Amino acid sequence: MASVTEQIKQKAFEIGFHKIGIVRAERLEKEGEHFKQWLEFNFHGGMQWLEREPEKRSDPNLIFPPAKSIIVVALNYYTPHEHEEKNSKGKISRYAWGDDYHDVLKEKLRELLTFIKTLDEAADGKICVDTAPVMDKAWAVRAGLGWLGKHSNVITKEFGSWVFLGEILLNLELEYETETIEDHCGTCTACLDACPTNAIVAPYLIDSKTCLSYATIESRDAELPLEITENMNGWLYGCDICQDVCPWNRFQKPTEETRFEPRPENVSTDLDQILSLTPERYAEKFRRSAMKRTKLGGLKRNAQAIKNGKK
């Protein structure tokens, strides 16, 4: 009979996850120090919430005290569509084309946790997807799902970097991975060379303040700085340049998760349409979409910046 660990992994694949690894819930010493240094460099920009209780990010037991194991999953989100390179259009980052990944991953992780509770009635866990103070990428690397690329995204051999990550902090002892995947970036600097704002200040180190994704999604400034507006290249929401040029993404495969298929006009969006959105139409158009993150004011600011730059 398969062990509990083997049954969990089998169920994860049945649910639709593409990779799974399980590691011991313990403090991330080296990764935690790296994160603190990143904060000290002020590379997090206006994301002040990252400064709060940074020790929680490196110690899973401060988030879920009974945690003994961490189940780490990856879900491929690649769909084979292309942006329209038109002056009238704004490009949207691939991760936001379909339904909000937070909802999709949480639903699948809840199903997995429910299954685990059928194997052991004492099982309890906490589901984490991006917004929890958990170092998703560090755990994915430790669990052997992939390695951290120089653009700071996790790269998998099977799917490139087009994967979402999530975790279950679990109160059960399981069988743990014994191997990690070595860094296969080698001497490649494609992502550093392609970044239009030089936001990748060194391999594995991003200055959010000069990153197009940060500027178009997280920034709440009324106007974007000149170094951003001069280099937007039509990016309305997010930016995929560093992933588009990554040689490992030649191994990309279309996902079976239909909810990541693009919504109408959500690959490239008409800029004038964005500028004419009412709050009601905005709420309707982006319901259950990751693009809610920018808010209507941010989207309009981005669209106007693109139009001004194309004059």
Active-site residue list: 130
237, β-bridge pairs: 92
Phi, psi of 29 (to 5 degrees): -70, -60
DSSP string across 133-192: S--HHHHHHHTTS-EE-TTSSEEBTTTBT-EEEEEEEESS--------PPP--TT--HHH
In angstroms, the Cα distances linking 166 to 33, 61, 104, 132, 134 are 22, 17, 11, 10, 9
- Which helix (H) or strand (E) segment holds residue 20: the answer is strand 19-24
Distance CA 296, CA 281 (A): 10
In angstroms, the Cα distances linking 221 to 272, 291, 298 are 21, 17, 8
Whether 73 contacts 19, CB under 8 Å:
yes
Whether 253 contacts 76, CB under 8 Å:
yes
Torsion of CA 206, 164, 99, 48, to 10 degrees: -40
Strands, E assignment, 52-137: 69-76, 89-92, 125-128
Distance CA 178, CA 119 (A): 24
Half-sphere exposure of 105 (CA within 13 A, CB side): 24
- Which helix (H) or strand (E) segment holds residue 24: the answer is strand 19-24
